[in-house]
Amino acid sequence: AERVQNVTLAASPRLMPFLAKIVPSWQLIDRHALERGTPPPECDYSCPAGDLFRLFALDVLTKKTLLDYPLLAPSSDRLKSVSTILGKRTKPRVGLSWRGGRKINGKIRSMTLAQALAGLPEELDIDIVSLQYTEDHEQEVFEQGDRRVALSGLDNLNDFDGIFALITQCDAI
């Protein structure tokens, strides 16, 4: 953003309210509209967000750039309510999402909950909170029956403020 006059970011509409607070001068467009064949806005250069690190990592490292705050953070009220819902942390809390994406990318980046848990020793004394957001994830947690895995009780698909609060309450993701 420091190098150009205008930045346009294609993002999920669910994220736009949070992004608008962080980068109010950027133009935000629905990334799903682009997938439906809508031409991208006229621009001089574009790249996938995943390429930004590769393109600018050297600049960040040489300037020793640090973020003083998380880019996406929950409201203090939501953080307090989620903290109350989860209760006192008595052992390490790990947030887990085991499926993601659609089509072939989703298949490549996904596994069953049983596969995700298979690498954890049964005696490992941790609490696992589901960050999964797909429609049937609750049923998969119930069927797995692992006492360490808990549902957050939040709408993991649409309640971003709640999910950001949930993530801040985890020791690892």
Spatial neighbors of 125 by CB under 8 A, at least 6 apart, are 91, 92
Give the pLDDT confidence of 68-111 residue by residue, as tens digits: 666 778 889 999 999 998 888 889 999 998 887 667 777 787 88
On the question of pLDDT at 142 being above 70, the answer is: yes
Give residue-wise pLDDT tens across range 27-52.
998 888 876 666 677 777 777 777 88
- What is the structure's pLDDT at 67? 63
Positive or negative: CA dihedral 97, 82, 80, 12 = positive
If we measure between CA atoms, which residue out of 156, 10, 160, 168 comes closest to residue 89? 168
Structure tokens at 157: 């698909």
